[in-house]
Amino acid sequence: MMKHTQKIVAKFCGRAYSTMSSSVKHGWKEQDGLVLAVAFLGGYFGHACRNLYKRREHWHKVDGMYKEHVKRTMELYDRSVRYRNAITLIFARGG
């Protein structure tokens, strides 16, 4: 019984998805730029909200990654300052 139900669902859902995807493809061609811009901005806003929710949910991971990024950036900055000072010292000696 279950296999028969799965076959029916797969048959009709597969057909529905392929029909829907082809109709969506043709539908996008008929839309004007304003509708596409609103759809894009709506999707972008939804994506941003989802990211904010995930950030709030996993704040400890995000905070750790941010602190690690700041630490690495400061190490690179310190290394570039030491390099610049060494080059300046070499050229100041005349060499």
Question: Where in the chain are the domains?
Answer: 1-30, 32-95
More confident residue, 36 or 70: 70
Predicted pLDDT of residue 80: 96
Give me 46's structure tokens.
């939804």
Q: Work out the average pLDDT over 71-82.
A: 97
Whole-model pTM over 0.85: no
Q: Which two tokens stand for residue 27?
A: 């539908």
pLDDT given for residue 60 in this prediction: 85
What is the structure's pLDDT at 8?
65
Q: How confident is the model at residue 81 (pLDDT cuts 50, 70, 90)?
A: very high
Mean pLDDT, range 24-30, rounded to an integer? 64
Model confidence at 31, in pLDDT bands (50, 70, 90)? low
Can you read off the two tokens belonging to residue 34?
Answer: 């304003």
- C-alpha 5/C-alpha 13 separation (Å) is 12
